[in-house]
A and B are shown apart, each in its own frame.
Chain A
Amino acid sequence: MNLRKGWTRGYGVFALLTLSVAGLVTLAACSGIPGGGSPISGSGGGGGSVNNTLAVAVNLGPNGNDINILFASVVVCVPGTSSCQTIPNVLVDTGSNGLRLIGSQVTLSLPVSTDDSGNPLGECQQFADTSFVWGSVNTADITLAGEVASSVPIQIISPSGFPLSSSASGCNTGGTERNTQALLGANGILGVGLLVQDCGNACATAPPPTNGYFTCIAQICNPATVALTSQVQNPVALFPQDNNGVLIKLPTVPSSGAATLSGSLIFGIGTQSNNALGTAKVYPTTPGGDFTVTYQSTAYTQSFIDSGSNAFFFLDTPGSGLPTCAINAAFYCPAAASMFTVTASAGTSSSMVTFSIDNAQTLLNANPTFSAFINIGGPFAGAFDLGLPFFYGRPVFTAINGKTASGTMGPYWAF
């Protein structure tokens, strides 16, 4: 069954992997970047500007079986100190906001956030696929390339000694808890999306139904409201400069796929010579971060771009005409490559987007060690999710809510 070779690299290989060792390092950068100047438009990467380019890569990931996942290394430090740690293999996600790290990967002792009474704060984050993460809220200085965000609330997923998710009423509803590197498929998630906080007003006024923040007293965690500034924060928004958004640049990928990709996560929009909008069109999103994708005269108004989604997810088999794969119904497996042309629109911008969906099983079987595929899709009714393949060969800007970026207020995408 050579045909299925590519698919057998699924979940069985976890035990064989060598975990990346997150070593303790001491960086002078953690206590502040010398020469970190104000944004100077057109000044280039040098001349006093901060290095705003973080290397990112698409590869098989720490579990050796991922496709279309973007990874970066993140440096976290105990606030105000040079006690720092580099965490590799952190997933770069424009679909979420804030940094989350698997507790077992973090050897630093980062201060735990508390409520006014000194009780530790917990957070439950539910994802759309019904999986979730639970852990404490801690504070760290975060260094990404030459950019530093100081005293940022982050989430530490399932740290040892912290109450379990079962202690938090309503958090564990029966979905998969992604509390290890193997289950998350990464050492953490770097959320550099459209919003400043990971929950926003929904957690500041009354606790939402299943997730959000908790205060923990004697191993029992109860839902709590948390002020916006104490919520887990998109670190980009807290940089002293280059803080209005990000640009992700990745090379294009041949139709047969690529083994790995190297690219850039560039901070700021229109703040340095390497992040100008240029000819990119601006697509303002709804406050929640959606725009409209129209296919065959039907407008899908809750569509979105998401570097943390690993394919084009859209329509269902009757709508797309594409059968799902026999072995893994999560992806489409058409008999031949099928082209889709949709219209992306928001505000006054509109453009045609064309992508091709080929047989995921055939592609993976042909090149079992490849990690990047530009033409993989899967079903999702009700909206278009333009995942990481949308970024291949197409620079995409993500502008943060409330920040002005090249003359337009975020949140918006531009491409």
Chain B
Amino acid sequence: MRRVLEVALGVALFATSAWATLGQKYDSVKADQQRMAGELRSQQFSNYTVHEISQPDGHLVREYVSPAGVVFGVVWDGPTMPNLSQLLGPYFDQLQKAIPTSGPRRRGPLYVQTGALVVSSGGHLGSFHGRAYLINLIPTGLTEAVLR
């Protein structure tokens, strides 16, 4: 019973997600695009596909999908912060736990590498941008440099 509930919650969270989530199967582009009233552009390369959803107010998210259909990286850009907890899914918690708490506090952009997860998030009021990716899911022959 408990297991069933957890699965149902997982589906519900995914359904409310604005975009597909890092590390998950990519299967809801059209629904996401309609929900966000954004414009979707997809571009296929030899070993990955980029889906870009842009909104009239300047928010933009690009998802990088492997040939296996898994989101291995996301890039964001816009006048305000996106909902990173939705974009990163369970990796958002992993990120929070990895933010250093000893020594003087870093103020400014965030850069965290923890396990296979790398998150770089920066900017200032009026312009926020960043990227997150899973090193172990980057298709063979690519590097994180494709995440632009």
A residues contacting B by CB (< 8 A) are: 6-11, 65-69, 95-97, 125-130, 170, 173-176, 185, 191, 193-195, 198-203, 205-206, 208-212, 286-290, 302, 304, 306, 308-311, 313, 316, 325, 327-331, 361, 364, 378-383, 385, 387
Q: Are B100 and A328 in contact (CB under 8 A)?
A: yes
Among candidates B57, B84, B86, B113, residue contacting A202 with C-beta atoms closer than 8 Å: B57
A210 near B82 with CB under 8 A, answer yes
CB-defined contacts of A290 to chain B, threshold 8 Å:
127
In contact, B127 and A202 (Cβ under 8 angstroms):
no
User: Mind listing 19 A-B residue pairs with CB under 8 Å?
Assistant: A8-B102, A10-B102, A65-B104, A97-B126, A126-B80, A126-B81, A128-B128, A176-B96, A199-B80, A200-B126, A289-B125, A289-B127, A302-B127, A304-B123, A328-B100, A330-B103, A330-B105, A380-B122, A387-B108
In angstroms, Cα B122 to Cα A66, docked, is: 20
Cβ of A14 to closest chain B Cβ, rounded Å: 11
Chain A residues near B120 (CB, 8 Å)? 316, 379-382
Interchain CB contact under 8 A, B104 and A199: no
Residues of B within 8 A of A201 (CB): 57, 79
> Considering the chains assembled together, what is the distance between the CA atoms of A329 and B111 in angstroms?
9
* B85 adjacent to chain A (CB < 8 Å): yes
**Cβ–Cβ < 8 Å partners of B86 in chain A:** 173
From B114, which residue of chain A is reached at the shortest CB distance?
Answer: A329
Could you say which of A65, A125, A208, A311 has the most chain B C-beta atoms within 10 Å of its C-beta? Answer: A208
A185 to chain B, nearest CB (A): 6
| A380 close to B111 (CB less than 8 A) | yes
Shortest A84–chain B CB gap in Å is 27
Q: A174-B93, A383-B122 are in contact. Are A329 and B105 (CB under 8 A)?
A: no
Residues of B within 8 A of A331 (CB): 103, 106
The 3 closest A-B pairs by CB, nearest first: A309-B108, A288-B127, A328-B103
* A95-B83 in contact (CB<8A): no
Q: Please determine whether A185 and B105 come into contact, CB atoms closer than 8 angstroms.
A: yes
Distance between Cα atoms of A129 and B124 in the complex (Å): 10
In contact, B129 and A382 (Cβ under 8 angstroms): yes
Contact present for A129 and B84 (CB under 8 Å): no
Let me know if B23 is at the binding interface, CB within 8 A.
Answer: no
The residues of B that contact A306 with a CB separation of less than 8 Å are 108, 124
Give bound CA distance, A199 to B79, whole Å: 8
B13 vs chain A, min Cβ distance (A):
12
Interface flags, B90-120, vs A, CB<8A=1, else 0: 0011011001111111111111110000001
Closest chain A residue, CB of each to CB of B103:
A328
Question: How far is B128's CA from A331's CA once the two chains are assembled, in angstroms?
Answer: 21
Judge whether B109 and A128 touch: CB under 8 Å: yes
Residue B62 at the chain A interface, CB threshold 8 Å? no
Shortest A362–chain B CB gap in Å is: 13
B74 within 8 A of A: no
Residues in chain A near residue B101, CB distance under 8 A: 10-11
Bound-complex Cα distance A311 to B104 (A): 11
Contact A130 B108 (CB under 8 A): no
The answer, yes or no, to whether B51 is at the interface (CB within 8 Å) is: no
Cβ contacts under 8 Å, B104 to chain A:
7, 9-10, 65-67, 310, 328, 364
Flag if A308 contacts B122 (CB, 8 Å).
Answer: no
Q: Which of B77, B95, B102, B120 has the most CB of A within 10 A?
A: B102
Q: Could you tell me the distance between the alpha carbons of A382 and B109 in the complex, rounded to whole angstroms?
A: 11
Which of A7, A129, A174 is the one whose CB lies under 8 Å from B85?
A174
Alpha-carbon separation in the docked complex, A68 to B80 (Å): 25
A68 to B106, CA, bound (A): 10
- Whether the pair A309, B80 counts as a contact (CB closer than 8 A) is no
Query: Measured between C-beta atoms, what is the minimum distance from A134 to chain B in Å?
Result: 14
A96, A288, A327: residue with the most chain B Cβ atoms closer than 10 Å: A288
In the complex, what residue of chain A is closest to B120 when comparing beta carbons?
A: A381
Closest to B105 in A: A185
A387 and B131 CA atoms in complex are apart in Å by 20
Chain A: CB-nearest residue to B104: A67
Distance of A68 Cα from B105 Cα, bound (Å): 10
Closest residue of A by beta carbon distance from B37: A206
Residues of chain B within 8 A of A66, CB atoms compared: 104-105
